[in-house]
Structure 1
């Protein structure tokens, strides 16, 4: 074999051995994502309880507002009832969405 072929083969072997050391390492940022996932799993219960609490407060305020409008003589309150009811349903179902997003089973 010629010297140029030996040189070319040795360069390829050197590059292969240089890259083979990094095969066991994970790509940059994977450990940060795993840490963020574990943190989100820890605070999932607090987030779902917060969504239920906000939904309860929103429902109470909406009920009081509708009652006040009814007592003031405004009998066309269908839009308000639908909007407040929809907001409460949305906040009640956000717990299911969070459990699917973060992969935490419902407890």
Structure 2
């Protein structure tokens, strides 16, 4: 009895590494990797869109402040700060997205 019990236990222990070779990858792993590469391209595009939107917003804000200055409105400090804050926020969002998802902007 002890010999057969010992043989069965030793066969089970020796067959454990070969069972790992027979195991299949879980379903959906390849799909997750494909979605990950797609999402990286989406986040790169979203980060660049945020930078472009910030640049356009800065140009429009500068033109609007210049126009108000030329029209004789000299108390434009709040408007300058708000446009600068918007551009700074959009630039920060771009770098935050690239850092959060580990996607370089280049």
TM range, smaller chain? 0.5 to 0.7
Unaligned 5+ segments in structure 2 are 1-24
CA apart distance, 1:89 = 0.6
CA apart distance, 1:30 = 8.1
Matched-pair contact (CA < 8 Å) for 1:59–1:84: yes
What is aligned with 1:44?
Answer: 43
C-alpha change, 1:50 and 1:106, in structure 2 (3 Å) is closer
What is aligned with 2:98?
Answer: 99
Is residue 2:66 matched to residue 1:67? yes
SS at match of 1:103: coil
Unaligned 5+ segments in structure 1 are 1-23
* Number of residue pairs matched by the alignment: 83
Distance in 1 between the 2:30 and 2:78 partners?
A: 48
Q: What TM-score results when the alignment is normalised by the length of structure 1?
A: 0.63
